[in-house]
Structure 1
């Protein structure tokens, strides 16, 4: 005889800061729920970050529900171990009803309107399902990687820990987003010879006119701007994050300066064949575009300062310290000295387990502030779910509260409907 599935009003899939924030607000309202996490709560911060990893936003922006940062350095940038400790303390406060080591393998609507939730520990039913697994589940590695010689060590950014992991020799870092730029810096500071295939990521200043740029942007209301009011609308969700670092108290990352110091820069990596790595002839364009974003943010701060009559020290805009000469569009791998490659080209989501009509043609969820058109299905923790901070410690708690308010209303409506039905 097949066992009847256990029922729980709300199922949360994912036990990171997003899922835990939803659990916090559900507990505040006394709503029964379960959190399913295939690993352990908030595990990615301890298992998928390099040793020198730190936040790129100041600690004062860490504001999980009921758990604001209260350490001694609000203007600093928590290091990996401090982030893990901060999240462990959050878990201890929330005390979520979490099933760690349990994977959700299928969610689909039943004929009676409930959701069937299949997991590695058994079957459940639920009225509401919150997808809190994030958009960074599957590391992206291009097919060209399969063609590279077996003598080349390859790893994704989520596997990189420190320079000592890599064999002696030169290192190719592919991608210049936040992870790529910071890993390239980590290797560069360790004295490794680094080759960097640059992408189209923008950059921003760490400090400008006497303050952290994040503080200026917060005063300017940027972090409260919703996706509906952003000039790019939904398109902002596809933007690459600006590269900058909080390392050693925070500083700019200037790829041009790295080049002056010996790092080899190339355009976008396009392929590999016949022993040669091939790069696009767009390095100058990519560097110029990154600097344009950098100076554009600073110019917006200048306008804000002028319009509000704020006293702030003057500061010149950035001028390039290095320009690429003749473009290098190919590199003979055997002659390059490269013995390892770190792929830093991002992740893709994995929502294959969710059978619901909530995705667009590109496989991305369609939602309004995390609420989808399919009743009872919600998303949380995605970049620009509602604001810039939706995928970060700063605003995920507000997003979670909004989603939980919607859940509470739906559950109340369902209870009312059941009452009149009987």
Structure 2
């Protein structure tokens, strides 16, 4: 296996039978589970029975994996329209857990889990932790939020399923996070990447020497992040930083996970069927092409979903990984179709801006995109923190840096942006998902 920088990770599999099965075996398993799922929702969920009938599709029409194209898409709005339990395929006396999406206006999208769903979910997170070198002797510090958000409890149950010790500290209280990380000997950190970077900065400022701590890996997700941010985290904390992907509607974290080869996150295809589609036409795109990720659950009992439109932009690659896992890999999400900014006809993702900014060592990896409208034209201002060293530099040097960044943004994104430098530590830090965009056009 390709080894990442930082402390050495153990290798292995949590579920080698499914993680390394041949593509032919996997395809047969997926087909059987897809057929069972379509039958289940046709029989138990009026919404799906109506949607399938509208397309002239019956469960018996699903004879191959390619027939998944016959199935209707499911949208986040469908969950809201059927709030709270309208898409559940299991009766409430079989539902043992309820979660709901965070950060939405109006009614949230609600998901229910049966006992088997929770067991499967914990197994998927256990796979993820093993991919991060985890084992029974590890101490997993869970700094994702607990509650209706799936992150905290998802990571928690997975760590327990693995047999590791869990520190259920949840998000926030950074000084306490650092204290317990040192006192409890945490070996794996689970949180958002932006909060990991914040922890690293606060720890270094407080004199914490991460090289002397047992912590060796981070399982970071819930928001898009760049390769440059990974390097920042790994350098500051002396760990291997790995990407975990998931979403509440489909399962929660644990839909896919990156191994130390860092060639994309393995989608656990024995539980999910992944497609990439053109977000405008809905047409399925071949492997390697960039588009919107669509997921179908094939083991969920509580709320199975057919062809769920994630709105996340990625690509899929089916080649066997250096780690030996055979499941298809998704490239890190570069943005969402619904958080994409369109500025003077140009599509801009915050992660693209972040990647450019972090190429310059003179700035910190904290930024804010401010979009405004002057007359009939949109304008983009990028506020970025200077490093302590650069902040005390002379004006001429700062002007040169501003020009370099502006020209780089223009060459990469094909848009003119105003660069505004701000003092170190003045852009608000996040203990959850980082706020990267202020769109004043909506005010």
Q: TM class by shorter-chain length?
A: under 0.3
- TM-score, structure 1 normalization: 0.27
- TM-score, structure 2 normalization: 0.26
Which structure carries more relative contact order (alpha carbon 8 Å, separation 6+)?
A: 1
Structure of larger gyration radius: 1
